[in-house]
């Protein structure tokens, strides 16, 4: 005999749930075999410990740090750390000048660079360039292959002082004899210790990889005019991906105007002239020096060069969140122990276990064997939650804090609440005289609206808390929101399908006394030919009838009272 539609739907939902669970399991298992993932979720700073970095400001003589600058630096560093995928970090101030960054575990080099880098971006015109003498034959690019058209340029004729005042940033009068002598003796290996020149003076610097060194004109476009930045694969003029990673900044109105003015002038030079090029300088190093292929008027240039996906993302994040108001240097970098430790974690897990046991006891007491569906649903929800947290820890650097554990514990009660709403709706339908199969479907339609409304409120609370809060509170909000979504999935893909299948079994369909769905025990009425017949009040059903009466809604009670009121005769002697 062909299966009924509810049974087919039930099996289809269970298959989808199984596929989701197996998919996460296989994905994490493959990552674990590759040495990237772990079946054990990562723990946060309060439970595992980590690294504490103290940043001290780099100040000139007489310069001081204001409270506004310090707060701005804390905000920017927090954004950078969050963007790197490191969660549950703590960024605070120490004294009147230092910033303390506490990160769980051992941060990688890129995360440290995000924290320390001032990300000072400048756009300067190229005045002179040549292959750096420190580059080996293997490191030196072939000028014919260089995408930015880099070629050694003839040494300019120089004077001790400029013969004329420079008229613009590309004027060769910026290059004096003393400046060129300094350039000739400059070694790219010393670039890390080199002080960046003021924005209104020329700069001697090198490519970040040390392959070329430059004399650059004064700053024409400040990085602070960048309003947004993203990273991605660079596309050709035909829209085909080149396979090269790039950074795509977006300038504000001031920056757009400055970029247009700069590229308008540079585009007038021959493309073999180094002055046709502009250098993109990050923290004193040239990250790219492309030729000017056209006038950029839209304020959306692209930065390309020797980027990997990771370095492009790092640069985009630094530009997006802005430069630090002051420079910082690492004063200390040390390992710190867990602030709470494994004892508190054990206590939290024990509290969660106690709560789970109480929920199970209540479910079995209130719903008899139907309570086993609650137990099974909680187990499924727990497995899914564990897999999702393990996946987030692997792919997004999520770490479980004690606040996050609290969110998981609270979720046990919220999850069980969904099952209770559904079961009570089914019982209401049984009291109304429906068969179990009909009660399951009708009860589901009534319960689903209530469940969605309740979960929407929970999810909205979690989202607001996550957006507005910082630190460990965000961990609580994340686990609360995550378990809310999983709760809905479990109810839709497991709890309801299981009830649909159980309704077809003889044990539950017959209303066995220990099934939890006994119509007589619930005080049900028989419905035949669209009429209700009150059951005979026996000693065994009197208590159940009183219980059914207590569960009536206000509208149902009024309808009952009206049905029991005798009709009064009208003026013509007929009943009205």
Q: Which of 127, 121, 123, 81 has the alpha carbon at shortest distance from 105?
A: 81
CA distance linking residue 568 with residue 559, whole number of Å: 17
- Is the pLDDT at 315 greater than 50, yes or no? yes
pLDDT confidence of residue 556 = 60
Q: How many CB atoms lie within 10 A of CB 313?
A: 21
Place of tokens 């998919």: 23
Average pLDDT over residues 351-358: 88
CA distances from 368 to 339, 360, 421, 497, 498 (A): 44, 11, 16, 19, 16
Q: How far apart are CA 493 and CA 176, in angstroms?
A: 76
Predicted pLDDT of residue 382: 93
User: What local confidence, expressed as pLDDT, does residue 550 receive?
Assistant: 58
Instruction: Report pLDDT for 535.
Output: 44
Domain assignment present for 575? no
Q: Is residue 571 part of a domain?
A: no
Same domain, 150 and 241: yes
Q: Which two tokens stand for residue 496?
A: 């309801």
The CB-side HSE value for 325 (13 A sphere, CA atoms) comes to: 16
Q: What is the CATH number of the domain that holds 272?
A: 3.30.1360.200
Are 281 and 161 found together in one domain?
yes
CA distance 408 to 382: 9
Q: Final residue of a domain: which of 259, 284, 319?
A: 319
CATH of the domain at 496: 1.20.1640.10
- The single-letter DSSP state of residue 240 is -
Place of tokens 């040239």: 286
CA dist 436 and 426 (Å) reads 8
At residue 311, the pLDDT reads 78
Q: Identify whether residues 127 and 165 lie together within a single domain.
A: yes
Q: Are residues 145 and 271 in the same domain?
A: yes
* 463 and 557 housed in the same domain: no
Say which CATH number the domain at 65 has: 3.30.70.3400
Residues 476 and 408: beta-carbon distance below 8 Å:
no
**Residue 396 and residue 539 in one domain:** no
Q: Do residue 246 and residue 301 come from a single domain? A: yes
Segment 131-152, tens digit of pLDDT: 876 544 333 344 333 344 444 4
Contact 248/304 with Cβ under 8 angstroms?
no
Question: What is residue 453's three-state secondary structure?
Answer: helix
In angstroms, rounded to a whole number, what is the distance separating the alpha carbons of residues 391 and 205?
43
Confidence of residue 1 (pLDDT cuts 50, 70, 90): very low
Nearest by Cα to 117 from 143, 142, 92, 80 = 80
Identify the domain containing residue 420 by its residue range.
5-40+340-515
434 occurs within a structural domain: yes
521 inside domain: no
CB–CB of 511/517 below 8 Å? yes
Number of domains observed in the structure of the chain: 4
Rounded distance between C-alpha atoms, residue 48 and residue 55, angstroms:
22
Confidence of residue 560 (pLDDT cuts 50, 70, 90): low
Poorest-confidence range of 61-65, 101-105, 463-467? 61-65
CA distance 50 to 43: 10
Q: Would you say residue 441 has pLDDT above 90?
A: yes
Binned at pLDDT 50, 70 and 90, residue 406 comes out as confident
Domain boundary among 279, 303, 336: 336
List pLDDT tens digits, range 293-302: 888 888 888 8
pLDDT in tens, 14-59: 999 999 999 999 999 999 998 888 898 888 888 888 888 888 887 7
On whether both 286 and 382 belong to a single domain, the answer is no
Strand partners, 431: none
* Contact indicator for 387, 20 with CB cutoff of 8 Å: no
Q: For the chain, what percent of residues have pLDDT higher than 90? A: 25
Co-location of 224 and 112 in the same domain:
no
- The domain boundary residue, chosen from 336, 366, 387: 336
CB 140 within 8 A of CB 211: yes
Q: Which residue has the tokens 């690492």?
A: 330
More confident: 164 or 480: 480
Can you name the residues that pair with 247 across neighbouring β-strands?
Answer: 231, 303
Q: What is the pLDDT of residues 277-286, one digit of tens each?
A: 988 887 778 8
Within a domain: 78: yes
Domain presence at residue 576 = no
The DSSP call for residue 159 is -
pLDDT of 342 over the 70 cut? no
Tell me if 126 is assigned to some domain. Answer: yes
**pTM of the complete model:** 0.60
Mark whether 468 and 423 lie in a shared domain.
yes
pLDDT at 107 over 50: yes
**pLDDT tens readout for residues 210-254:** 888 999 999 999 887 888 888 898 887 777 888 888 888 888 999
Q: Which tokens is 458 given?
A: 């929970």
| Residue 291 covered by a domain | yes
List strand residue ranges (DSSP E) for 159-277, in order. Answer: 203-206, 212-216, 221-222, 226-235, 241-251
pLDDT band at 337 (very low <50, low <70, confident <90, very high): confident
Cα separation values, 362 from 321, 365, 460, Å = 51, 5, 29
pLDDT at res. 11:
94
Average pLDDT across the chain, whole number: 80
Mean pLDDT score, 460-483: 87
pLDDT for 339: 66
Whether residues 238 and 129 share a domain: the answer is: yes
Distance CA(237)–CA(342), nearest Å, equals: 57
- Rounded CA gap, 51 and 55, in Å? 13
8: tokens are 């087919």
R_g of the chain computed on alpha carbons:
35
Structure tokens at 57: 């400001």
| Residue that has been written with the tokens 């206590």 in this structure | 347
Considering the domain architecture, whether residues 65 and 156 belong to the same structural domain is answered as: no
């Amino acid at each position: 005999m062909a299966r009924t539609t509810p049974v087919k739907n039930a099996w289809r939902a269970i298959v989808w749930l199984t596929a989701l669970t197996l998919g996460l399991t296989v994905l994490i298992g493959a990552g674990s075999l590759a040495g990237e993932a772990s079946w054990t979720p990562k723990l946060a700073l309060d439970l595992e410990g980590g690294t504490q970095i103290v940043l001290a400001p780099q100040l000139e003589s007489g310069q001081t740090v204001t409270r506004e600058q310090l707060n701005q630096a804390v905000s920017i560093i927090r954004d950078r750390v969050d963007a790197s995928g490191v969660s549950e970090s703590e960024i605070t101030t120490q004294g009147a000048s230092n910033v303390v960054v506490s990160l769980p575990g051992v941060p990688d080099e890129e995360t440290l660079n995000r924290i320390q880098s001032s990300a000072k971006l400048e756009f300067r015109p190229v005045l002179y360039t040549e292959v750096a003498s420190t580059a080996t034959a293997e490191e030196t690019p072939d000028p014919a292959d260089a995408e930015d058209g880099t070629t050694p340029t003839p040494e300019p004729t120089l004077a001790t002082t400029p013969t004329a005042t420079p008229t613009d940033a590309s004027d060769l009068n910026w290059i004096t004899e003393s400046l060129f002598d300094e350039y000739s003796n400059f070694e790219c290996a010393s670039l890390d210790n080199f002080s960046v020149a003021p924005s209104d003076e020329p700069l001697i610097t090198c490519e970040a990889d040390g392959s070329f060194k430059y004399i650059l004109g004064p700053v024409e476009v400040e990085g602070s005019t960048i309003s947004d930045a993203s990273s991605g694969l660079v596309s050709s003029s035909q829209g085909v991906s080149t396979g090269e990673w790039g950074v795509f900044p977006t300038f504000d109105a001031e920056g757009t105007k400055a970029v247009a003015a700069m590229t308008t002038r540079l585009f007038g030079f021959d493309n073999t002239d180094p002055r046709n090029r502009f250098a993109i300088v990050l923290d004193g190093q040239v990250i790219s020096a492309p030729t000017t292929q056209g006038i950029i008027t839209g304020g959306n240039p692209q930065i390309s060069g020797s980027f990997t996906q990771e370095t492009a993302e790092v640069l985009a994040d630094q530009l997006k969140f802005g430069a630090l108001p002051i420079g910082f240097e690492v004063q200390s970098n040390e390992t710190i122990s867990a602030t709470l430790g494994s004892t508190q974690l054990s206590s939290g897990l024990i509290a969660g276990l106690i709560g789970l046991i109480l929920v199970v006891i209540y479910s079995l007491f209130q719903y008899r064997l139907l309570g086993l569906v609650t137990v099974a649903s909680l187990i499924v929800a727990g497995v899914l939650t564990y897999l999702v947290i393990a996946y987030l820890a692997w792919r997004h650097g999520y770490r479980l804090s004690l606040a996050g554990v609290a969110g998981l514990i609270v979720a046990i009660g919220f999850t069980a609440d969904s099952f209770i709403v559904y079961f009570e709706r089914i019982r209401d339908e049984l009291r109304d005289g429906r068969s179990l199969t009909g009660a399951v479907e009708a009860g589901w339609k009534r319960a689903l609206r209530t469940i969605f409304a309740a979960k929407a409120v929970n999810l909205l609370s979690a989202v607001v808390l996550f957006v507005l809060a910082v630190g460990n509170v965000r961990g609580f909000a994340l686990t609360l929101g995550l378990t809310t979504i999983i709760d809905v999935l479990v109810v839709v893909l497991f709890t309801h399908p299981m009830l649909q299948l159980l309704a077809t079994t003889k044990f539950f369909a017959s209303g066995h006394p220990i099934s939890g769905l006994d119509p007589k025990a619930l005080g049900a009425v028989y419905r035949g030919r669209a009429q209700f017949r009150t059951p005979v009040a026996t000693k065994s059903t009197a208590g159940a009838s009183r219980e059914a009466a207590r569960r009536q809604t206000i509208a149902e009670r009024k309808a009952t009272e009206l049905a029991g009121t005798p009709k009064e005769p009208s003026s013509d002697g007929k009943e009205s």
